Amino acid sequence: MSAPLHNQALAEHLREIVQCSLGSTPEKMLERALQACIDISGATGGSILGEEGPYLQFLFSDVPGVVGARVPFDSIAGATVRNGRIIYTYAPTDKRHFAGIDAQTNSATRYLLSIPIPSIHQSATDGSTHRNAGALQLLFDSNVLPGVQVEAGPEEFDLATFRQEQYDHLSGIFLILPNIAFGMEVITLRQTSYQAIHELKNKFISAQSWLGYLKSDIEQQAPDIFSNETISGDLELTRSTVGEGAALAKTYLEFTKIYEPHFIEADINDVLAEVVASARAFAKDQPIVTAVVFEGDKRIARRQLDPAQLKMAFFNLCKNAIEALVVHAVADATITVKSSLVDGRISVEVADNGPGMPREIADNLFIPFKTKKEGGTGLGLTITKKIVNVNGGGIRCQTSDAGTVFTVVF
């Protein structure tokens, strides 16, 4: 690509990233930034990794199946984040390469460029160094750095040295890195807000109790006061409002529980069997009959999972499907929960035979507070996605006039 064309393409990518950051979610902006890095570098693919407890986790990738997967800190990505150095390596000969991801995607990583994503927070008071928020990894089929031979061993660069080498086809990446770091910080800040919501929930619950005591005291001291409809109405409105606030805070706090998973050796079919039983009980109380069918693949072996949280996630998918079928009064309403073993990975489908979802709803399924359901908080599917991610999986949705299918792959 010639310099003028390269600069024009880079400018267009930056414009789209800025537009995305102003008019969409940080997740969408990060997805767009990753694609821009892939495009301008000529990479065959790429990913953004960030910290998730004692691991690094794939936050975004051009291969949806790896999103949510975890890699250890002794991997190439871990060395990039820990040491703050760019690593260029030939993966087949680098012992730090975490081949588990290749196994999941049925591919073989060749040339790998791993770039630290500097945090927007300075780690030194003089501003001389920065800690890193994560790693940007780009994959190439052939050697992308002229004169650098890494088949026999990796090469490492500090940021300044690498940029001085004038790899023009890669220079645009460093203009995009601050956008990536900012997007990751916004997501982190959103997560830390959960702790504040926890305290707010406690205040709401206390207020509910004190309102009960206040009503009791008034009834004892001045019982006639409640004959005044205005006073009685005001108290009831206050009680109702506080109750709604407590319910919203409690729902929002499902996020915080997800950051403390309890993994045990478990059978996903046992988890799904309990979910299906609960879904059938829920369906019985609905105005129309909904059949809930379970098809479990007995070949699936036990593995480390958090059964309690996965039950919550899969039940939420079933509950949403049942409610949608009821709203649309679907004849022969049916939900099918199916597990299967696909290329060594666990796949779980929750499918319904409803009329599908409009595009504007389908595009915002996992975004907090984006709901069209009356009385809903817009957090259910966001919580579900996070549970799946923490359990090392990814989730996607396909919808049409023949029905909607949520697929979770671990």
* Range 51-60 average pLDDT: 84
Average pLDDT of the residues in 337-360: 90
Query: What pLDDT does 246 receive?
Result: 80
Please give the share of the chain, as a percent, with pLDDT higher than 70: 86
CA distance 224 to 313: 49
Give the long-range contacts of residues 55-64, CB within 8 A, separation 24 or more: 56/81, 56/134, 56/135, 57/389, 58/101, 59/30, 59/134, 59/184, 60/27, 60/30, 60/31, 60/34, 61/34, 62/34, 62/35, 62/38, 63/105, 64/394, 64/396
What is the predicted pLDDT for the residue at 195? Answer: 58
Rg (CA), the chain: 25
Give residues with Cβ within 8 angstroms of 198, minimum separation 6. 249, 253, 256
| pLDDT beyond 60 at 242 | yes
Window from 97-101, 252-256, 288-292 with minimum mean pLDDT: 252-256
> Tell me: the pLDDT tens digits for 183-227?
888 877 766 676 577 677 778 888 888 888 888 888 888 888 888
Q: What is the pLDDT of residue 147?
A: 84
* 159 token code pair: 């940021």
The mean pLDDT of 335-362, rounded to a whole number, is 90
The answer, yes or no, to whether residue 374 has pLDDT greater than 60, is no
10 Å CB burial of residue 156 (0-12, 13-18, 19+) is middle
Q: Of residues 148 and 165, which shows the higher confidence score? A: 148
Q: For the chain, give the mean pLDDT.
A: 83
Beta strands in 45-149 (DSSP E): 45-52, 55-61, 70-71, 86-90, 111-122, 130-140
Residue type, position 291, single letter: A
